[in-house]
Amino acid sequence: MQRRTKIVATLGPATESLEAIEGLVRAGVDVVRLNFSHGAAEEHMARAERVRQMAARHGRFVAILADLQGPKIRIARFAEGKVLLHKGQRFVLDALLDKQGGGVEAVGIDYEALISDSRLGDILLLDDGRVEMQVVEVQSNRLICEVLVGGPLSNNKGINRKGGGLSASALTAKDREDILTAARMQVDYLAVSFPRDAADMHLARQLLHEAGGEAGLIAKIERAETVADRAVLDGIIEASEGVMVARGDLGVEIGDAELVAVQKLIIDRTRTLNRVVITATQMMETMITQSMPTRAEVFDVANAVLDGTDAVMLSAETAAGAYPIQTVEAMVRIIVGAERHPQAQRSKHRMDEVFQRIDETIALSAMYAANHLDGVKAIISLTETGDTPRLMSRIRSHLPIYACSGNLRTQRRVALFRGVQTLPFSTDEMPLDEVNQRAVEALLQRGVVSHGDCVLITRGDHAHDQGGTNTLRIVRVGEVIR
């Protein structure tokens, strides 16, 4: 059984070398994430080049995702590196305090607008919620807080407000510089951290295009306010090529008890709006130090697959973990196991809707036919941009979708789409009446289909037309096809 759900792996010190990157490619990674929160531009460029080199060596198409740091709101540093806070004690967040001089009573902050953003009674969550405190007094430059949940607190830990609502802009000065780097690298996807609304995504797209980049935008859903209002969430989704369920900061802001339902909502809305979705954060966390996942992690990954996510993501597990290759291999096994479940293979998605676009109608009709006609073994989408296979991949199926394209950017970009495989296929020197026949022969040569199998083919009347898919054919392998 061919795996449909894709795997995103973050590169870092544990996967720096050519050998490690080759191991990830061979293990089945479909997208690599470059975390711009760490490392210099030159390091990311070198990693991207190694990925492309190893993918080409092994005949794979691996997309590159650059992930912007965004406005991470943090405390400053402690003179002794760490303090231990106790429940009930007073602790001050001080915008004027020496950024290196924090102690057990106070620490500086790097986002001074936190003072004006805060109100009496606000709950602040530090270090991903491990330390919790309530604002009991707001002064001109300081927040006086009472510790509700104590524990160790060390340098530069993040601050979230329960319920969200902090005013920090999604794109910092660093992010704007990193967009220039991403454009130079010609990454396939660019992830925007902490977008507040669709306008943040439109601005990121404008900056990327001005820099000469053509990456698809991935909105990281991390703020509580973006999931509290359906219109805001849908606006962000529609302004992007895809979204990431960034469960770390999102979970801190809305609470873990709400996170399961919100994850399912985001995946459902993203698929309904014809975008792609990545589920991320702590999916195989124990494999940073252990060679096997826990059963809870197995269920977490499997449930995301059954929810319909396009991809599951690894962060520190592959960036800094002791078992990066084994983690990917374990994730492959879990995905394949989950995809055997009937829920992952059949769909009633959008059965009662009216469509406005011809290519969307053809794409979804093809998936309905493929899922209900006995003998179909594969779906071929002749595509210039990858839009038609993306639309197809919104429908659950057990059948492989082959994106036949001669466009290298498209060949890499479809690596993120659930159930879609790249088939390099150029029609530039090919008579139009031979295109269908040769596409089927390409699958036959790969051993994907056999004589007598049925194959569905979608295409447009003219090669290289964007959004021009208007034809669906069902053909039988071994017969003359026109």
Active site residues: 33, 74, 220, 281
Handedness of CA 281, 284, 290, 295 (dihedral sign): positive
Residue 84 CB partners (closer than 8 Å, separation 6+): 104, 150, 151, 152, 153
Q: In which residue are the tokens 């994430």 written?
A: 33
Nearest Cα neighbor of 464 from 395, 348, 353, 383 is: 383
Query: Does residue 154 contact residue 72 with C-beta atoms inside 8 Å?
Result: no
What whole-number distance in Å separates Cα of residue 7 and Cα of residue 278?
9
The tokens for 26 are 């061979």
The three-point CA angle 407-412-415 to 5° equals 130
Strands 151-154 and 82-85: antiparallel
Query: Does residue 449 contact residue 440 with C-beta atoms inside 8 Å?
Result: yes
